[in-house]
Structures are given as C-alpha cells and as structure tokens.
Amino acid sequence: MMDVAGLFSLEGRVALVTGGSRGIGRMIAEGFLAQGAKVYISARKAEACDATAAELSAAYGEGRCVSLPADVATPEGLTGLVAALREREDRLDVLVNNAGAAWGAPFAEFPESGWDKVMDLNVKALFFLTQALAPMMARDSGPLAKVVNIASIDGMSMNPQETYSYHASKAAVIHLTKRLALRLVDDGIVVNGIAPGAFASTMNKDARDHADELAKVIPSGRIGEPEDMAAAAVYLASRAGDYVVGTTLAVDGGVTWNR
C-alpha cells in the first residue's frame, strides 16, 4: 500500500536554508519544520536571523530551528558558515540556496558594482557553498540528499524593469542547476530549482504593497502565499521529488506564460 504522506515527510532530516530569516527563505524553512526537519537558517543580519530562529523554534519545537548568521557573498562568510554547520552536524540532507540580491538602474547608468554584487551572491556563492557542503551530503545508500536552488521567473522571461544583472544571474542559476544535477546525482545528491513569481517579501515590494493590483495580471488571480512556496520546496526536498532531476519549477500562478 502506497504511503503518500510518507513521501512528503522530512522527519529526521537536517536542512540549511540561506536567506532564511525572511521572505521566501522563511516560508521554506517553516514548511520544512512542519514536515519534521531540523532547520538551520542563515542570513547576513545576525539579529534578524536569531529572531526568526527563536520564533520558529517556539512554534515547532525548541532547538528545531537554529540561527547561523553569515554573509555567504564573501569567502570568509561562506567558509565560516560551513565550519559552523560542521561543528553541529555530521551530515546535511537538504541545502536551499536562497540568499540573493537584486539591482535596478537604467542601462546607460548601470554600475559595475551592481553587476558584481548580484552575480557574486546569486551565482558564485550558490556554486561554492554547494561545492563546500557536498561532502556532507554525499551518500551511497539511504535517502537521497537534495539541493534546491532558488531562481526566479525573471530567469525564464522578461519583466519591464531594468534589472540586468538580476535577470542574467537567475538565468544562470537555472542553467547551473542542470549542470550541478548531472554531476551530483552520482553522489546521491539530487539538484533542482524553484522559480518564484510574485510573493510578498522585502525584495518584491510590489507583491507586498500592491497585491491586489498585481493579482490582475496573474492568471491565478492572486499572489503566492507562504504555503505555495513551502509545498514546492517540501516536494523537491522529500522522497516525493527523488525522480525529478535538474528541473526548475515555476511557482508563479501562470504569469510566466502570460507575459
């Protein structure tokens, strides 16, 4: 008899979510906790990271959500995060590469700093954090480990904003997800991605502050809710997503195909 509930369970699993103190990262972290995982969250701002971990632990069990503040955009921050996790755990089952940045400016004025900041965090840090943590995730037997890269529908299609490095970085994440998937599946690590559409967050202020207006251009008629993002992430992180490899799942209410 098929155990469908068990397919989506994360009981006993250890996860790390970067950019986990707010927005999409927090939605994913909470979804993992609800399915039984122990979740480490990381963010550049230590106070916000600590506060979110305390709040989620109060809701889902003391010590279930642990704060590991770090700036993964810097080599020192990335190395420190890996070391801090290794001090606490022998293995990592799920890595969510969610930390990201955006930059908007007119074409003629777009600065090199806005290019480098976005590409370094959204693409470079994603690759090197995955590389550094792969030894903790590799396995010969048992449940497969999972990497979930957070891309964006802006990596699949254009929005009207002049966010040149953001568009380029998220398209790179989608393609890098495929390359990593083909390499790491040999080590028992399955890599996939999620391309979010409109979810209320600090980065997506339009969805946060003008949800009703934005909903008019979304085929589903609404912006995304935390449960929508949590469900997609749980699917890919659990046994349910074992046979999905190298795919980036658009979670956007259909807006990508309506642009």
- Active-site residue set: 166
List of long-range contacts for 234-237, beta carbons under 8 Å, 24+ apart: 234/8, 234/10, 234/31, 234/32, 234/35, 235/8, 236/146, 236/148, 236/192, 236/194, 237/10, 237/13, 237/15, 237/32, 237/37, 237/94, 237/96, 237/146, 237/148
The total of other beta-carbon atoms located within 10 Å of residue 252's CB is: 25
94: closest CA among 49, 43, 149? Answer: 149
Are the C-beta atoms of residues 115 and 165 closer than 8 Å to each other? yes
Are the C-beta atoms of residues 92 and 12 closer than 8 Å to each other? no
Q: Tokens 């997506």 sit at which residue?
A: 204
